[in-house]
């Protein structure tokens, strides 16, 4: 077949020229020079041994041989284009877009994605990371993780897990400072906080101290991104509020420590949501079930998944 067919480049130049009846316009469409198109047409005519176009003063017309070739060439390219688009559509259907906050994506979801890919390599999870609520109605994402009480207009919510929150710092930070032994002692240290996080009932140092019945706070610095606050604590610059589901591994590794054994039950929980008016694709349903199964494996201390709505209280 390769020996019987002319150059694919020449056929492309012929198809565009025959459709537009202009070498110049074909050159613009193909992003090449008119001379290059004319050369390809000449090569094709030499291959076939007969002219395909009648060259007029300002345009070209197909010869009978050109008309005979045009239809099958057009059908061939149309068939290939349809096949390519179909395959691209199938590829797109294999992708599921999940919206998460930065902290959830970095500390919880990304470490688990390799396990998902091992089981379902044909399904790709795309992430849109934003600490602002996702516009589910606009089709921005199929699934989105939200923190709160699980009741949002137009959304169906699936409980993932609750959490507990406690102060953390790096071991190096306390190497030259007195170790705090109470909630009151924390007020004498730099405290790094995140604000602007999506969802009601997000816990800040202010609400954490209020739950502890302590009015004062230390040097408090705000960041838009939870990741920055945790990084400041890792860098030995002060304390951050550690959400156990996010930084539990860092504590187990000894990179962060809990200097006082006081923790707060998060007043909200994490939920996987999707638009209540839209049917989930099979792959989105697969991802939803997998995320819920992964969440069910977690058991944050004092707040097991499915144990009910947390109350925002502190415990030791």
For the domain bounded by 96-316, which CATH number is listed?
3.40.190.290
Class of domain 8-92: mainly alpha
Find out whether 140 and 99 touch, Cβ atoms under 8 Å. Answer: yes
Instruction: Mark out the alpha helices in the chain (DSSP H runs).
Output: 8-20, 23-30, 34-48, 64-93, 102-103, 110-119, 183-186, 205-211, 226-234, 244-252, 282-296
- For the segment 94-107, what is each residue's pLDDT rounded down to a tens digit? 789 999 888 899 99
DSSP designation for 108: I
Residue written as token pair 């919880």: 108
Share of residues in the chain with pLDDT > 90 (%): 41
Q: Which residues of 242-274 are buried (b: 16+ CB within 10 A; e: fewer)?
A: bbbbbbbebeeeeebbebeebbbbbbbbbbbbb
Can you read off the two tokens belonging to residue 147?
């923190």
Find out whether 40 and 52 touch, Cβ atoms under 8 Å. Answer: no
pLDDT winner (highest mean) among 13-27, 181-195, 218-232, 298-312: 13-27
Distance between CA 261 and CA 315 in Å, rounded?
8
- For the segment 35-79, what is each residue's pLDDT rounded down to a tens digit? 999 999 999 999 999 999 998 877 889 999 999 999 899 888 888
Domains 8-92 and 96-316 share a fold: no
Q: CA–CA distance from 226 to each of 202, 211, 212, 291 (Å)?
A: 11, 21, 22, 22
| Segments making up each domain of the chain, as ranges | 8-92, 96-316
Predicted TM-score of the model (pTM) = 0.67
Closest by Cα among 94, 141, 92, 100 to 117: 94
């Amino acid at each position: 077949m390769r020996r019987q067919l002319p150059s694919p480049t020449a056929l492309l130049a012929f198809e565009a020229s025959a459709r537009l009846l202009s070498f110049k316009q074909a050159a613009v469409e193909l992003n090449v020079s008119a001379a290059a198109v004319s050369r390809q047409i000449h090569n094709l005519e030499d291959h076939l041994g007969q002219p395909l176009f009648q060259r007029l003063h300002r345009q070209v017309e197909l010869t009978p041989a050109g008309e005979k070739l045009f239809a099958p060439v057009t059908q061939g390219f149309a068939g290939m284009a349809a096949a390519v688009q179909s395959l691209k559509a199938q590829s797109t259907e294999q992708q599921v877009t999940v919206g998460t906050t930065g902290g959830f994506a970095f500390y919880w979801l990304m470490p688990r994605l390799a396990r998902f890919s091992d089981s379902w390599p044909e399904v790709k999870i795309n992430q849109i990371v934003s600490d602002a609520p996702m516009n589910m109605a606009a089709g921005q994402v199929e699934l989105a993780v939200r923190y709160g009480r699980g009741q949002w207009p137009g959304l169906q919510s699936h409980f993932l897990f609750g959490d507990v929150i406690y102060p953390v710092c790096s071991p190096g930070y306390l190497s030259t400072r007195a170790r705090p032994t109470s909630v009151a002692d924390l007020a004498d240290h730099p405290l790094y906080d995140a604000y602007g996080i999506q969802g009601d009932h997000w816990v800040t140092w202010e609400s954490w101290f209020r739950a502890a019945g302590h009015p004062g706070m230390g040097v408090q610095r705000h960041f838009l991104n939870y990741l920055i606050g945790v990084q400041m604590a890792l860098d030995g610059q002060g304390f951050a509020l550690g959400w156990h589901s996010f930084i539990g591994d860092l504590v187990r590794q000894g990179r962060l420590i809990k200097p006082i054994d006081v923790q707060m039950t998060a007043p909200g929980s994490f939920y996987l949501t999707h638009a209540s008016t839209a049917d989930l694709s099979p792959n989105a349903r697969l991802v939803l079930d997998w995320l819920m199964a992964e969440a069910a494996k977690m058991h944050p201390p004092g707040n097991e998944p499915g144990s009910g709505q947390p109350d925002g209280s502190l415990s030791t």
